[in-house]
Amino acid sequence: MIPLSWYLILSAALFSIGLFGVMARRNAIAILLGIELMFNAVNINLVAFWRYLDPTIMNGQVFAIIVFAVAAAEVAVGLALVISVYRNRKTVVVDDLDLLKW
Amino acid sequence: MSPELILFLVLSLVAIAAAIGMLISPNPVYSALFLVINFSTVAVFYLILGAPFIAMAQITIYAGAIMVLFLFVIMLLGAEKLAPGKVLPYQKPLAIGLAIVLMVESVYAVLARNPSDAEIIVPTEAANSIDAMRDLGIMLFSDYLLPFEVTSILLLVAMIGAIVLTKRAKGEQE
Amino acid sequence: MPPINFNDIEVLLPLIILVIWACLLLLVDLFIPKKHKWLTALLAAFGLALTLGFTLSQLGSESNGFCATGKPSICMVVLDGFSVLVNALLLLTGLLGVALAYGYLKRMGIERGEYYTLMLFSISGMMLMAQASDLIIVFLALELLSLPLYVLSAFARSNSDSQEAGLKYFLLGAFSSGFILYGIALVYGATGSTSLSQIFEIASVGTSSLLLTIGAALILVGLGFKVAAVPFHMWTPDVYQGAPTPVTAFMTAGAKIAGFAALLRVFGSAFPNLSEDITPILWALSAATMIVGNLLAIAQTNIKRMLAYSSIAHTGYILMAFVPYGNPEVAPVSIAAGLFYLFAYTITNFGAWGVVIALEQKESKGLQISDYAGLRRKYPVLAGAMTVFMFSLIGFPPTLGMVGKFYLFRAVLSGGYTGLAIIGVVTSLVSAFYYLRVVVNMYMFAGEPKTDNEFWLRFTIAGAALVTVVFSLVPQGLFAWASRAVLKLF
C-alpha cells in the first residue's frame, strides 16, 4: 500500500505548480488552466484522505463530487467572461492584471 | 517494490511532467492538452485509491467536458492571438518563491504528522465493491442533500451568468 | 424514501423563499417589456422585503437543520440569533442595492432584468453563509455569492473597464477559492470531518496538529482575498473602480458582511483552540489593512478609487473586532461591536455611493473629486448628505461611524490590544484628510456639477443620511440586539 503522505505530497506539488501558473502568467486562459489544476490537486487530497481515514464514511468522495460541479460552474462563467472581454478588447492578455502588484 | 508502488511513481512523474508542460508551453492549445494528460493520470490515481465513480467523473467532467470547453474557447478566439503577454520582471521569481514556500510548508505538514496514521492499511476490496458506490449515492441524497441542492442552484446561476455575459440583445452591435 | 423534514425547511425558510422568488423573477422578467423594467426592480424589492419579514419572524428561535441521519449534532445549517441579525442586515443591503441600481442602469443604458435576479441569488449565497455550520456549505455559499458578483461586475457590456473588472475579480476570486478549498481539505484530513462542531470536538481533544493549523491558515488567506484585507487587496481598487457603481456599492457592503459571517462561523465555532496561532495573524492583517488602505486612499483623485481604498481600510477596522475571537470573555462584546460597525458602515457606505451614482455621467464622467466642486451651491441637500457620510466614515460625531468606532475601540482596549486601538485611532485621523477633501471641494470651490432627478436614489440618500444621524443618538437598542445575537456563540 502506498503511504498516504505520498499522495499528499503529489497533491501539494500539483497545487504549487497551479499556483505558480496563476501568478506567473498573464494570459487569462492560462491563468484559468492553473486554477483548474489547483482544484484538481485538492480533489486528490480529498479522495486520499477519504481512503486512509475511514473508507466507510463517504464524505470525502461526496465533497470531491461537489468540487467537480463547482469547478464546472466556475469555468462556464470564467470562459464567458473571457469571451466577453475579447469582444471588447480583442485580447485576453489582461493588462495590468498583475496578481503580484501590491 | 510492489507493482502498485511502481505504477504510482510512474504516474506521479507523468502527472507532474504534464503539469509543468502546461505551465511552460506558450501555445494555450498545448497547455490545455497537457492538462488533459494530467487529469487522466489523476483519474488512474482515483482507481488505485478505490474510488471508481470519482475516476469516471474525473474523465467525463474534467478531462471531457471542461477541457473540451476550454479548447473550444481557445479555438474560437484564435489560438495564435493568445500571446503570452509581457511578464513583469519581479513576477516570476516572486511566484517561484511563493510556490516553493507553499510546497515546503505542505510537505513539512504532511511529514510532521504522527507517522503511525500515515501507514494505516485498509482492505482494498471493501472500498471497491458496488456497496461503496451505493453508499455514495445514498449519502448524496440524505446527509448531503442540502449541498447537492445548493450545487444545482450554483449551476443555474452559472448558466444565467454565462448567457447574460455573452448573449447579444436584438439590435446590439457586434 | 425518508419523509420530508419540515424542521429543515423551517430553518432555511427565508433562504428558500428568496431562491424561489429569484427563479420566478427570472421567468416573469421575460414577459416584462423593456420599457417597464421598473416592474422587475419593484418585484425584486418586494421579494427582498418579504424575505426580510420571514427572517424577522425567526427572531428568538434557535434550531439546526439538515442533520446527519442518526447524528442530530452534525448539521449542515444552523439558525440562531446571529444568523437572523446578519440575514436581516444582508436583506437591507439588498433593498438598498436595488434602490441605487434602478435609475443608474436606465441612465447608463445597461438595463436588463437579470441584474436583479443575479443580485437575489448573490444575497441568498450570503444568507447561506451566515447559517452555515459545515465547511462544505461555507464553500458552496462562498461560490454562490461570488459567481453572480463576477457577472454583475462585468454587467456593462459595452464598457471595457467593467468587462476587465469582472474578469479580474473572477480570476482572483477563483484563485482564492482554490486556497479555501485546499485549506478545507487539510482540515478534513486532520479531523476526518467537515462539520464545524465535529472539528471543534476533535481538535479540542488531541494535541493541535500542524495539518489543522495550516488548513485554517489557508482558509484565512482565502477569506482575506474575499474581504480584501491587505496583503490580499490588490484586486480591489481596479474591480471597484471598473464595476458599475451600484454593483460596487453592493459588493463593498454585502461581501464584507458575508465574509465577516464566514470568519465568525469558521474560526469562532471550529477553531477557537487555534487562537494562539491565529490571533497574531489577524492582528497583523487588521493593522496592515488599516494602515495601507488609509495611506493609499490619500493619493486618489477618482472618487470611486478613493472609496475603494476607504473600503479596504474599513475591512481593517472590522477585522479588529475579530482579533480577540478566542477569548470567551472579550469576544462577545467585541463581535457585537463588529456587527454594529458593519451596520454603521453599510448605511454610510450606501449613502456615499448613492451620491457618487447621482453625480456619475455616461462614459465614466463626473467621477473625479474635483467634479464635486460647487455641489453645495447647486444641490445643497446632496452636499449636506455627502458631508454626513464623510463625517461618518471618519468617525466624527454625531454620526453612526463615530458610535461604531467608539464601541469597537472600547472592545479592543478591554481585550488588551492597546497597540491595535492606537493604530485605529491614528489611521482614522489620517483618513480625515482625504474624506474632508471631498467636503472642501463641495463647499469651497466653484463648479457646475450635474445630476438627474431620480426619486428612489434621492430617497435612499436622504434616508441613509437621516439614519446615520438619528441612530447615532439612540444606538443602544441596536447594540443590545447585536450583543444578544452573539451571546450564545461563545
Q: What is the pLDDT of residues C188-239, one digit of tens each?
A: 998 888 999 999 988 888 666 788 888 999 999 999 998 999 888 888 998 9
Q: C78 - beta bridge partners?
A: C64
B150 touching chain C per CB within 8 A: yes
How deeply is C18 buried, as exposed, middle or buried, from its count of CB atoms within 10 A (0-12, 13-18, 19+)?
Answer: buried
- Residue with more model confidence, B40 or C327: B40
**Domains in chain A: how many in total?**
1
Q: What ipTM was reported for this prediction?
A: 0.93
Confidence class for position A102, pLDDT limits 50, 70, 90: very low
Residue A71 lies in a domain: yes
- The per-residue pLDDT for B118 is 45
Average pLDDT of every residue of chain C: 91
**Domain spans in chain B, listed from the N-terminal domain onward:** 1-85
Tell the CATH topology of B1-85: Four Helix Bundle (Hemerythrin (Met), subunit A) (1.20.120)
Q: In this complex, do B31 and A58 lie within 8 Å of one another by their Cβ atoms?
A: no
Our CA-based measurement puts residue B154 at a distance from the nearest CA of chain C, in whole angstroms, of 6
For chain C, the distance separating the N- and C-terminal CA atoms, rounded to the nearest angstrom, is 38
Could you read off the pLDDT of B78-91 as tens digits, one per residue?
Answer: 765 555 555 556 66
Min distance C95 CA to chain B CA atoms (Å): 20
A74 vs C contacts (CB less than 8 Å): 143, 147, 170, 174, 177
pLDDT digit string, tens, across residues C60-97:
888 888 888 878 888 899 999 999 999 999 999 999 99
Confidence at residue B169, expressed as pLDDT on a 0 to 100 scale: 63
Domain range for residue A45? 27-89
Neighboring chain B residues of A80 at a CB cutoff of 8 Å: 161-162, 165-166
As a whole number of angstroms, the distance between CA B26 and CA B84 comes to 6
pLDDT confidence tier of residue C409, bands split at 50, 70 and 90: very high
pTM of the model as a whole: 0.93
Minimum mean pLDDT range among C89-98, C183-192, C387-396, C445-454: C445-454
The phi, psi pair for C79, rounded to 5°, reads: -120, 120
Mean pLDDT across chain B, nearest whole number?
80
Which residue is closest to C183 within chain A, CA to CA?
A42
| For residue B139, pLDDT beyond 60 | yes
- Report the C-alpha gap between C188 and C197 in whole angstroms: 13
The continuous run of DSSP H or E covering C77 comes out as strand C71-79
Residue B155: pLDDT above 60? yes
- Structural domain includes residue A20: no
Residues of chain B positioned with their CB less than 8 A from the CB of C121: 153, 157, 160
3-state SS of chain B is CCHHHHHHHHHHHHHHHHHHHHHHCCCHHHHHHHHHHHHHHHHHHHHHHCCHHHHHHHHHHHHHHHHHHHHHHHHHHCHHHCCCCCCCCCHHHHHHHHHHHHHHHHHHHHHCCCHHHHCCCCCHHHHHCHHHHHHHHHHHHCCCHHHHHHHHHHHHHHHHHHHHHHCCCCCCCC
Contact criterion met (CB below 8 Å) for C223 and C180: yes
What does the angle CA B140 – CA C177 – CA A6 come to, to the nearest 5 degrees? 75
Q: CA C226 to CA C152: how far, in whole Å?
A: 16
Per-residue pLDDT, B168: 73
- The answer as to whether A4 is a domain residue is no
CB contact under 8 A, A19 and B98: yes
CB atoms C140 and B154 under 8 Å? yes
How would residue B93 be classed by pLDDT, with cut points 50, 70 and 90?
Answer: confident
Least Cα separation, residue B76 to chain C (angstroms): 18
Q: Which residue of A has its CA nearest to B50?
A: A51
Put simply, the answer to whether C76 touches B169 (Cβ < 8 Å) is: no
Rounded distance, CA C93 to CA C350, Å? 8
